[in-house]
Every structure is written in C-alpha cells, then in structure tokens.
Structure 1
Amino acid sequence: MNLTISGHHLEVTPSLREYVMTKLDRITRHFDQVVDVTVVLSVEKLKEKERRQKAEVNLHVKGRDIYVESAHADLYAAIDELMDKLDRQVIRHKDRLQDHHHESIKKQQLSGVA
C-alpha cells in the first residue's frame, strides 16, 4: 500500500501523520486490497475569525477509486468524519464484491430450457 499525506497551506506534523495512519488502519482491517492512498489536509481561510479545516482522501482499491472529503472547524474532527465516511464506502464496496446472492449462469440456462 502506497500512502501519501500532504498539506495545503499547513505543515503536516508527525502527530498529524501518526493520527491519519492510525485511522487508516481501520480501513485496511476491513479491506486488505488497498493499492494506493492519497490524503490531503488543507486550511481554507474564509474570514479572519472563520477558518475551515478540510481533509480529503483518494483511495485506489482493486476495481474502483474512492474519493471522500470532509470539512470541520477542527482538523482532527475533520479527519474523524472523513474516516467514518471512507469506512462506510469501503465496506459497501467490499459487500458488492462479495455479493453471491444471484443465480449462477448454469441455473439460469437450465430454468430457461425447462
């Protein structure tokens, strides 16, 4: 798994990097076919008092690219919200891959003949 963590208008400190990596462990626990992860942490200065912390993830898994973004006043809260959203999408993707509740082709052909 390739992991890239970058910052836009902020410096990515070792504590931020460690926090993101521990949160990503939850994703890799659910789905181990993660190829590439790109995390972008940014600060948008809207007004003097109003700052918005934004976190984005682009996750490349086998068969699909998943993009999630989240914004909050606190960067750690934005990362938490981001990982919750990402976790739901990864689980949904995994369920779609493992969905074996459809009829097999042989059964469809046999039922069409009879």
Structure 2
Amino acid sequence: MQIIISGRHFNVTDEMKAQINERLTGILEHKSLKISTVRVILDQEGSRSLAEVIVNIKNHDIEAKAESYDMNESVETVIDKIEIQVRKYLDKMQDHHRERFDKDIVEASSVEDEEMVEEEDFA
C-alpha cells in the first residue's frame, strides 16, 4: 500500500506526515482490503484548511473531504470519515458472503430432509 501525502499552498511537516501515515496504516491494514494507493491532499486557502483522502481499492474508491479553520482538525475529521466508510465497505463484503453461505446451508438441509422423507416412504 502506497500512501501519497501532498500539500497545496501548504508545506506538510514530517511530523504531520508521520501522524497521517500511522493513523491510515492502522485503519487500512485489514487483510481483505486490496488497496493499491492512498492519496492525501492537504490544502490551505486563506483561513480555510481542506483535507481530502482518496483510497483506491480494487474495483472501488473511497473518498472523504473535511474543511475547518485548523489543519489538524481537518485531518482528524477526514480520517474519521474514511474509517467509517472502510468499516461500511467491509461490512457489505462480509454480509454478501454470509448471505451466500446461509443459502447454501438452507439448500443442503432441505435436500437432506427430502431424502429422509423419501427413505421413510419406502420403509
């Protein structure tokens, strides 16, 4: 996973890069996420601070934006938003597989029940 941190009209400090890397790595380290790149764009326009994160997952992109008057607050907010979206994405992936698994179990048990009924009829 490659994390690219860039600043527009703003110099990103090494401390801020380390903090962002640490938080994003902790959130995005799940095994089933096939992440190619993570792009973090920090923008300072006058007194407004904008933070944007784009996570490129195989067949899916997750994006979040946050704006405030403090850059650290914008970064924290956007990372929290990404965390929520990643959790929702993982839940959808798990639910999808769970539903298919449940259907297979129901079908298998109904076939076994039918076979038992047929055997009882012959006895």
Q: Shorter-chain TM-score: what band?
A: 0.7 to 0.9
What is the TM-score with the length of structure 2 in the denominator?
A: 0.75
Question: Is 1:80 matched up with 2:76?
Answer: yes
* Structure 1, unpaired ranges of 5+: 46-50
Higher helix share: 2
What is the TM-score with the length of structure 1 in the denominator?
A: 0.80
Q: CA deviation at 1:11?
A: 0.9
Higher strand share: 1
Q: RMSD of the TM alignment (CA)?
A: 2.2
Larger Rg belongs to:
2
The corresponding residue for 1:48 is: none
More relative contact order, 1 or 2 (CA 8 Å, 6+ apart): 1
The corresponding residue for 1:6 is: 6
Q: Which runs of 4+ in 1 moved over 4 A?
A: none
The number of equivalent residue pairs is 105
Matched-pair identity in %: 27
Alignment of 1:1-114 (within 5 A): 1-29=1-29, 31-32=30-31, 33=33, 34-45=35-46, 51-99=47-95, 100-101=98-99, 103-104=102-103, 107=107
